Every structure is written in structure tokens, then in C-alpha cells.
Amino acid sequence: MTASAAGEAGHGLVTAPDTVALAARTPDRAQPHAELGLTDAEYASVGGLLGRRPTDSELAIYSVMWSEHCSYKSSRVHLRQFAEKAPPTTSLLAGIGDNAGVVDIGQGYAVTFKIESHNHPSYVEPFQGAATGVGGIVRDILAMGARPVAVMDALRFGAVDAPDTRRVLPGVVGGISFYGNCLGLPNIGGELAFDPCYSGNPLVNALCVGVLRHQDLKLAAARGPGNQVVLLGSPTGPDGIGGASVLASASFGGGGETAKRPNVQVGDPFMEKLLIECCLELYAAGVVVAIQDLGAAGIACATSELAAAGGTGMAVTLDLVPLRDPSLGPAEILMSESQERMMAIVEPGALEKFAEICARWDVPATVIGEVTGTGRLIATWRGEVVVDIPPESAAEGPLYQRPLRRPAGQDGRLADDPAPLADAARSGPGLADRLRADLLALLGSPAGADKAWVTEQYDSYVRGNTVQATPHDAGVLRIDEETFLGIALATDGNGRFCLLDPYAGTQLALAEAYRNVAASGARPLAVTNCLNFGSPEDPEVMWQFAEAVRGLADGCLALGVPVTGGNVSFYNQTQDEAIQPTPVIGVLGVFADVRRRLASGFGAPGEQIMLLGTTAPEFGGSLWASVVHCHLGGRPPAVDLAAERRLAEVLAGAAEAGLLSAAHDLSDGGLGVALAECCLTGADGPARSGDGIGCTVDLGTDPFTALFSESPGRALVAVRDGQREAFARLCAEHGVPAQPIGFTGGDELAVAGAFSVPVGELAAARRGTLGELFG
């Protein structure tokens, strides 16, 4: 079957007719550049670049491609630090500027991973907004030539009992679980946090990880004049038009465009599953020169970025784009963010084979143009040229050095130290009862509560290669079934710390994700990020952003892990009230053998519990201060990245040597929450009826600080019988303080000389919060 015949039969490829371009024409009327998100200066710049007034379709392209979402026009000047300060590495195969970062993990395997935001769509339409967030990040991974193998999500909502949270959270969780479960991708971890600052602006950050062989890497660069441009997947509809430029209601006039289009995409995971398998077979057949997913800005983005990256030109015929809505005009076709679409560059001689594979998977594919040597992106519609631009002018966009200003209240926040509250709490009568009550309050708070109501809606073990998932410190996947090569992934962020000090707070988030991966027994290898902030037009927000980026770049250099890519999400605010600065950091680690991974919970009685690291009275921004006193102030805990690196060496080395049965990082809520989680998690998963393994610990003369300080660089471990001396030697070799504090066993968490809580009561305190509100 020829490509043309396949197209006529309803499958495969439809080839472009030989049409000649006519002169571009634009009616003599005002253009809605401001409604499209372009400033007057940017609109004038477009005219200067082209030497004429843009057509409506060209204006559409520049409006979406020059948006913050696509161009990173306010953030690029800061993001350069990730390359300038990158630590030396030989593992990075693709990084910043590509669809996703790719790292070598050994044995000929590579892993690609990335996290992106879908915040605003998830507020407008929670189910579809979250679902298509998953679909979009999966296609980013697919576009690198990899098979997607797992997803994660980092979620933040307003106050847990607020009506808005009750509307948004169930829809978001439902959308994530629906799309991921339909694709057959395990959801192996993530975060769930609540704070009033996210009311009206939830954060829905989706991560995907994929696996490929080194030789299968694909890049999005259209090369080879005469090669064909093929659009494959779902037909193009009106959903998501202008989403990247935060616009849903601009009217271009003419061509049948309506005055208002929906601004949230609609997902079809079953088509995406077909698209994944089809693309993987196309890659294996060697018929793809380059490929790009269609997400934000749709065809406008894919054509301009492919051509710009290849240093070539491209000519496309928009009439050939398969439409779900025949009333769409050229500008809307270019801007549509309809889901489940990819754009491939294919050699003419490979079209027939390409068509056969697409037909076998029932994935529509249409030739809509070809690569040229003109250096121009040209699009025609009904015989007229509606786009004639240099593609790099759209792909690169403007670059801004936004003004920065330290927030007026920053010094006041730092000075408002909770130390007096802590001093009062650790002294006076009734200390034992107070410690017990405060621990149960933290466990029952939204931050400390069991997240099973959410995570049980996800399939964490589909595909059979999940070794460990929520509630353990990191998700763990087996990559090779014979050698047991594997990876670990964790995401972390803390808006409270970043509000107090965005530089230190971002490093604390990085350190926590790094530590979580190490606590699973893996060796941290690379970083991705999703940087969620308010308006870049606010100098105080830009100061927070600049400090956070500087902190992450410096932190990655100190830890020896490169930033492979990520996402920036601005304009996260309700009216003039910005969210807390919330950089979410994802860390990837590698196992030589996943059978050596560490669980986060106690697995057997009689094992020695040791506390690694140093504890100081650090309560600024702590969960204890927030939950017990509704207080947010002071300096966040002091991060020591050299100590974090030494701790990671001990944890990974101990796992490889079989010295430990469990390890759990200390973070939100400090040692008290960590002990309770270890009692309730177990080696195989969460205890549901109080049947976990208890422990007895001695915390010395200041149990309050020991329980609730959030000093970083610490972990709780259970040492296997007969391995105490070997583990002590390993800690000493790396200069990591290691303090024996007790033993596992029994049916309660007992703090010697202070209080005890039955494991069943710990479980009840943690389970109640989300289950009662949403169950």
C-alpha cells in the first residue's frame, strides 16, 4: 500500500499536494495583540523582525511562543547558571534545551526524566487539567526515544477543609489516576501538601521517567531538506487554544474562528497508549529522523522549534491538518493544544513503512509539509501564505532582565524566630503529656497525615517492575530483569522554608530529595526541577526566583549532580497574592542491584536504631511551629551540603553491603514523625490496623529538641543483627555522626522517661484527616 492510498483508506499518511504559495495578506484592522498576551513593545518587535505587519497566524505563533510558558523570557537569564555551574559529569547524554534530560545509568541503558506544571488548567477544570498534565509529560519522555515506565506527582492545595480544596483535589487526583492507570504506568511517589497560599492556585507538577538504549536517543531537530513533516495522533480541535499565552477568548476574525474557545485540553489516554506503542515501533524500524511532541502552543511550537533546532526551514499546508472541528481557522489550528499528537520528520523513502506501522496501531498520520533549506517557516491556508517567518525568531523569543527587590517583610520574617515558643515548650510541668500531644497533632495534621486516600487511587505496581513505591522515601524501579540494575526517584519542596529564605530553602529541598534517594540505597545521579512562583512582573517575586535558582545551581555543584532540565511556572497567584515560592526538586539515583534497596520502615524486632547526623535546636519554618502555634518565621535550618554528601555515601554503601534493613530521612516533623512513620510503614508497605512494629528509644535530656527539630542531613536507620560494628566503621570512615538511640520491637512507640503511644493510636491519628474529609 502506498502512503497516499493508506491515507485514502483512513489510516497512515496523507501526502501534501503541490501547491504554490501566494502573498501573505492581513486585513487592515487592529490586531488583538494585548489580548493575546503580547505587550506593545513585543508587538512592535514582531513587526520589526518581519519588516511588515504580521498576519493573524503569525501573530498567533508569536503570542504563544513568546509567552512565559514557552519562551522563559523572564527566567532564562537566571537559568543559565545550571549550565555555568554544572558539576563535571560523563553521564549526561541530553540536557537543558531538549524535551527532557537523559543520563547514562550503565549497561548501555539511559534514563530520561522531567517534571512539568499544569497548575492553571487544573484549577479551571481539575480532572482534565491534571489528566492532560500527565499526558503531556509522558509525550516529552516519548519524544526522547524512550519508553515511559513510571510517573510521579507533586501536589499542593489550599487549606485542607476549604470548599475550593474539596472541589479541586478530588478532581486532580481522579484525573491523574485515570490517565496514568489507563496508560498502564505505575505512579511510584510524589508529594501532597496543603497551605492557604495555594487557595485558588493549586500546584499540579507531573513527573515522568523513561528508559532507552543509548543508540535510541532522539532529538527534536528537523534536518534534511526534502524530508517530510508528518503529524500523527489525534485530530486537532479547539481545546486549549491560547493556553500557553493565558488566553481563551481572542477573536482573529475570518476563517470561521469563534470568539471564545475552551482553554483546558481534553485527554484521551487510550489514543496516547496507541501513540506510545506506535512511536516505539517507528523508532525501532529506523524511520524517524526527528520527533517532537505537541503540547503547549501545539503546531506553532513544534514547527518553529524543529526548524530552528535543525537550522533549516519548513513549509506546511494547514489545510491538511486533520480537524475535529472544521470551523477552525489557521490561527486556531496553529495555537490548538489538542492532546495525543506528535510531529515527526521522515525521509521520503521511509514514508511507506511509516504508514504501515501507523496503520497497524490505528494511529492517524498525515504529511502536512516538508523540510526546506530556505531558513523560513512557511505555512499556507487555502492557497495563501499565512506564515512566513524565520523560525528561530519564534523559538527563541525575547529575553528580559526583570528588576529584583528583596521583599519588604523579609527581614521581619527572619527575625520572628520561634525559639521562645520552643523554650516554653521544653520546660515547665507536663512535658511528657505535651510531647505526646504535639506528636499526635503533627501526625494528624494535613502535612503529617497518611496520604493513602490519594495514593491508593493510583496503580503503583502495574508493569511489574516497581520494586518500591509510596510511602517509602523514594520510588524504586527495576530496569534490567537479569542484572537487577535499577533507579530511584524522589521529589521534594518546602514553601515555608523558601518563603523565609529562598536560597537556603531551595537547597533544603534539593538536599531532602537527594537524601530520600540515598535513603533508598541508591546513588544520586541527576536533578530535574519545577519552579513555581508568582508574577515575574513583581520585583519581589523575581528576587525570590533569582535566589532560588542561585541556590539550586550552587547546591547541585556542591553535591555533584547536574540539573538536566525542568520547568518554570510563573503567575501562580490569586489576584495580587502570590503563592509561597515553591521550587519542586526531583532527584534520580541509580542502583547496581535493586535487591539491595532499603525500606523506609522497621521490618523486624530487635534491631538497633541509630540516628545519623547532628541535631541542633532549629525550628524556623518547622512543621511543629506551623501546626502547634500557627507560626511561620525565623531562619530555616542550616544546610550542610558536604555533610549531605557524606551521609549519602554511608547510606548507599551500607545498602550495598547489606548492613541495614531500613533507612528513613528526617524532614517535616523531625525525628518524632520519622519514628512514627518507621513504625507504621514496615518493610512491605503501610500498616493499616496498627499492626506495625514499635520501638523504644532514649532521646537524652532534651527530648523536645530531639523529637521536633528539623535539622537536615539526618537519617534514621535500623541495623541488621551482627552488622553493628561494620556499620559503625563505615560511618566513622565518612565522618558521619552515628548515635544509637534504641531498638525496634513491641506494639508502641516509647520514649524512655517521657511517654509512649500505641502503634494503633499512631495509625488512627494519621489515617483520620484525609479519609474523613474526602473518603
200 with 265, same domain: the answer is no
122 with 176, same domain: the answer is yes
Does residue 421 contact residue 91 with C-beta atoms inside 8 Å? no
Asked, for residue 15, whether it belongs to a domain, the answer is: no
Cα–Cα distance measured from residue 371 to residue 351, given in angstroms and rounded to the nearest whole number: 14
Coil vs helix vs strand at 70: helix
Give the active site residues: 69, 118
Exposure string over 58-68, b if 16+ CB within 10 A, otherwise e: bbbbbbbbbbb
81 with 109, same domain: the answer is yes
What's the CA angle centered on 64, arms 532 and 272, to 5 degrees? 75
Asked, for residue 579, whether it belongs to a domain, the answer is: yes
Q: Given 396, 431, 454, which residue is the final one in a domain? A: 396
50 with 111, same domain: the answer is no
664 with 598, same domain: the answer is yes
Distances (CA, A) of 24 to 52, 179, 278, 299, 385: 11, 41, 37, 19, 5
Residue 17, pLDDT score: 37
203 with 260, same domain: the answer is no
644 with 561, same domain: the answer is yes
Of 542, 509, 531, 766, the C-alpha closest to 621 is 509
Residues in the chain: 775
Which residue, chain included where needed, has cell 540536557?
95
Residues 6+ apart with CB under 8 A from 137: 114, 115, 116, 151, 206, 207, 208
Cα–Cα distance measured from residue 102 to residue 213, given in angstroms and rounded to the nearest whole number: 11
212 with 241, same domain: the answer is no
Q: Given 396, 424, 444, which residue is the final one in a domain? A: 396
Establish how many alpha carbons lie within 13 A of residue 392's alpha carbon, considering only the half-sphere containing its beta carbon. Answer: 8
Does residue 645 contact residue 628 with C-beta atoms inside 8 Å? no
Sign of CA dihedral 317, 319, 323, 327: positive
Does residue 703 contact residue 754 with C-beta atoms inside 8 Å? yes
Cα–Cα distance measured from residue 422 to residue 435, given in angstroms and rounded to the nearest whole number: 12
Residue 266, pLDDT score: 82
Cα–Cα distance measured from residue 3 to residue 548, given in angstroms and rounded to the nearest whole number: 51
Helix residue spans in 126-192 (DSSP H): 126-142, 163-183
Report the amino acid identity of residue 562: P
What is the pTM for the complete model shown?
Answer: 0.93
107 with 142, same domain: the answer is yes
Q: Could you give the maximum distance between any two Cα atoms of the chain, in Å?
A: 89
Asked, for residue 7, whether it belongs to a domain, the answer is: no
Residue 518: give the domain boundaries: 76-216+409-774
Cα–Cα distance measured from residue 763 to residue 472, given in angstroms and rounded to the nearest whole number: 16
Asked, for residue 8, whether it belongs to a domain, the answer is: no
237 with 176, same domain: the answer is no
Cα–Cα distance measured from residue 529 to residue 712, given in angstroms and rounded to the nearest whole number: 20
Cα–Cα distance measured from residue 147 to residue 132, given in angstroms and rounded to the nearest whole number: 18
Which residue, chain included where needed, has cell 519508553?
147
92 with 172, same domain: the answer is yes
Asked, for residue 535, whether it belongs to a domain, the answer is: yes
Residue 250, pLDDT score: 31
The enclosing domain of 360 has a CATH number of 3.90.650.10
Report the amino acid identity of residue 643: A
Q: Given 362, 396, 430, which residue is the final one in a domain? A: 396
Cα–Cα distance measured from residue 337 to residue 59, given in angstroms and rounded to the nearest whole number: 16
Residues 6+ apart with CB under 8 A from 412: none
Does residue 479 contact residue 211 with C-beta atoms inside 8 Å? yes
Asked, for residue 188, whether it belongs to a domain, the answer is: yes
608 with 471, same domain: the answer is yes
Asked, for residue 71, whether it belongs to a domain, the answer is: no
* Residues of the chain with confidence (pLDDT) below 70: 1-28, 242-263, 683-690, 775
Report the domain count for the chain. 2
